[in-house]
Amino acid sequence: MDVLVEFVLPALVVLATGALARRTVSRRAAARTASASGGAVVTVPCRARWRQGAWRRFFGYGKLGAGADGTGAEFKAPLRGAVAVPVGGRVAVRAGLRPGMRVLEYRAPDGRRVDFQVYDAEAARAARLLEGPDPAGR
């Protein structure tokens, strides 16, 4: 009985909590994708990381959205100003270390690298946002 209380019961609680969290994230991502397909501008929740200065790195949670002028993307973190992402860079998508996540490696034209960690369901939309508007208007 002690084994059940010490190991099995907490494991069941953790598994149930993880399943509930994954279901909630999936449902929210599907709702954002549906809104975006209707033509609405929808921000993508993500985690960003880039180098600031010689030794410091910025790491924060926020949302990636369209820029104020509509030509690029910007990262908005709570209690911070919006940071414009340089236009004209390349995006590479790779698997993240966390299950259900992708990492978008954005290389700016000046060589700087910015990593965005997003959910699988929103990786394609975030990559399109980072690449900028399509000149053909598609």
Going from N- to C-terminal start, the domains of the chain cover: 1-40, 43-138
CA distance 134 to 119: 23
CA dist., res. 112 & res. 123, Å (int): 20
In whole angstroms, give the CA distance from residue 137 to residue 51.
Answer: 33
pTM of the predicted protein model: 0.70
Give 91 or 111, the one with higher predicted confidence.
91
Question: What is the rounded distance in angstroms from the CA atom of residue 106 to the CA atom of residue 86?
Answer: 10
The answer to whether domain 43-138 has CATH 2.30.29.30 is yes
State pLDDT tens for residues 44-61.
888 888 876 666 677 888
Maximum Cα–Cα distance across the chain: 67
Please give the mean pLDDT across all residues of the chain.
80
State the pLDDT at residue 105.
Answer: 92
Distance CA(65)–CA(111), nearest Å, equals: 22
Which residues in 1-138 belong to E strands, given as ranges?
Answer: 44-52, 56-66, 73-76, 83-84, 90-95, 101-107, 113-119
Determine contact, residues 65/129, Cβ cutoff 8 Å.
yes
